[in-house]
Amino acid sequence: MKNALLLLAALALTSAAQAQTTPPAQTAPLNSRAGAMRSPEQQAEAQAQRLAKELNLTADQQTKVQQLMAAQRQETQTAIQNAGGNRRAMGQAMRAGRDKFNGQLQTVLTPDQYTKYQQIMTERRAKMQERRQGGGGMSDDLN
């Protein structure tokens, strides 16, 4: 009887130890928001598709917008790398890139579409600011 209890206890301990050392199932990373694991081209494509719906872009406009976005994202990545951790330099480069992008975008969109784009971006910036101040969830994309 003692042997059976010892064997049962050993089996329970072995199972508990194995359960602790078994790796967990593969899960999505905590920062798996849209865009976290995508290339700049994939991010540009997703954003262009979103804008196509929001602004009723033609196929030609969507292609041009996607190309502009991919170029902007690549330039932004390069600017961040070149800034060497200098946050002020990064911010200035990113603002310059955004201004350049907006100027190019204005040539692709109609005046009404560009006005609506500006409204959408203003709303997104306000939501982002609200989240930074601790007031909201993470339900919307930023760009």
Percentage above 90 pLDDT, the chain: 31
In a domain, 46, yes or no: yes
Q: Per the domain annotation, does 141 fall within a domain?
A: no
Is residue 55 situated within a structural domain?
Answer: yes
Range of the domain at 89: 39-132
**Within 10 A of 79 (CB to CB), how many other CB atoms are there?**
17
Pair 69, 108: CB distance under 8 Å: no
pLDDT at 47: 87
Q: How many domains does the chain have?
A: 1
Q: What is the pLDDT of residues 98-121, one digit of tens each?
A: 999 999 999 999 999 999 999 999
Q: Please say if the pLDDT value at position 32 is more than 90.
A: no
85/13: higher pLDDT: 85
* Domain-embedded: residue 139: no
- pTM for the full predicted model: 0.62
Residue 76 CB partners (closer than 8 Å, separation 6+): 93, 94, 97
**Does the pLDDT value for residue 29 go beyond 90?**
no
Residue 21 lies in a domain: no
Domain-embedded: residue 34: no
Residue 36: the pLDDT is 62
